[in-house]
Amino acid sequence: MHPRTIATLAELENACWFSNVGIKDTSAAIVLSSWGEAIAHCVSNHWQDLIFEAANQYCERLAERSKDRFNNWNKIVGEVKNVTVSFVRRKIETLVQLQNLPPEFERTLQWDILHLCMEAEYSEVYPPGFFASHAYWYVKGHFPCGWQGGRFPNGTLIVY
């Protein structure tokens, strides 16, 4: 893994994920008030479509700028995933048990953390964006889980 990715994971490791869920401490996002609402948003078709589209657009930009680097995408995903899967599980296992959160919660987190790491891996080809911005929210103790408004980037992020 690239040193940028290692640094990203170190910052996430040192953060207290979900320590500020439900606390309205920002005007930059809509803040939800319960895990039920957060889960409903993160499993919604609207959010799932948005995060898949963000990943697809990032890959398209990489392919446009460097086919050679993009051709290693699957290999690098495999290497990064070897680290992120256990990392995410460890960070959320207690919360999942305490709040009885569904498997979709972990899948959402796995997707987010993998893709923010992939943005770090490729940042010299195309700058990090959508998923890197999620790291900010995890570090701040929130859970980015939805979008309200028009087609991205027109609208507002939803966090818990």
Q: What is the mean pLDDT of residues 41-65?
A: 95
- Determine if the peptide bond prior to 153 is cis (ω within 30°): yes
Residue 76's region, left for phi above 0, alpha for psi from -120 to 50, else beta, is alpha
Half-sphere exposure (CA, 13 Å, Cβ side) for 133? Answer: 14
Four-residue CA torsion sign, 158, 37, 160, 88: negative
What type of residue is 105? F
CA–CA separation, 41 vs 112, rounded Å? 15
- Structural domain including 52 reads 3-19+27-159
pLDDT-based confidence at residue 151 (cuts at 50, 70, 90): confident
Cα-only R_g, the chain: 15
Number of domains within the chain: 1
Q: Binning pLDDT at 50, 70 and 90, where does residue 89 land?
A: very high
Task: Look up the pTM and report it.
Answer: 0.93
- Mean predicted lDDT score pLDDT of the chain: 96
Burial class (CB in 10 A: 0-12, 13-18, 19+), 156: middle
pLDDT digits (tens, 9 = 90+) for 94-140: 999 999 999 999 999 999 999 999 999 999 999 999 999 999 999 99
